[in-house]
Each structure stands twice: as structure tokens, then as C-alpha cells.
Amino acid sequence: MLLIPCPWCGERDEIEFSYGGEAGVPYPSDPAELSDEAWARFLFVRANPRGAFHERWVHTHGCRRWFDLTRDTVTHEIHVRER
């Protein structure tokens, strides 16, 4: 089990959180103009690096706030990103 450091509530068990995916993915400027293939790529294709990965999390069973963190996908070491 991961211990995730919520910037507002402190360190908590991962079961209190919901994963929000890769952080920093820009929303398309004109989504209506995207082809089905491009829209599917935006929705479903994400990086899968070995090492540092920037993620979004929400403290679902706590303060209910969203925040970004960096997690090492090999060691699971977590660093909360600055707001």
C-alpha cells in the first residue's frame, strides 16, 4: 500500500485517494475539430515511463482536493509537486 502525502491533510493510505491520470496533458484547443482517432488518442494514450511520472490525484475520502505529484514508477517514491 502506498502512503500518499496530501498537501492539505498530510500522509494518508492510498485507499483514500482516486487516481486522475497523467498530469499536464493539455486539453485540445478545438475538440470538435478532432477526428475520432485523434480524440481517442487524447483520451486513452498516455506515457508509461520507467522512473519519474507526473500524476493527478484527488483525496476522495478526505479534503476532496485535486493535486499533482511525481511518483517513481519503479520505487513508488512520491514527491508532491508545488502548487
Domain ranges of the chain: 1-22+45-83
Cell numbers describing residue 60: 476522495
- 1-22+45-83 sits in which CATH class? alpha beta
> Looking at this protein, which amino acid is placed at residue 80?
V
Per-residue pLDDT of the chain (83 residues; tens, 9 = 90+): 899 999 999 999 999 999 999 999 999 999 999 999 999 999 999 989 999 999 999 999 999 999 999 999 999 999 886 65
The residue whose grid cell reads 484527488 is 58
**Residue 83 has what pLDDT?**
55
- pTM of the entire predicted model: 0.83
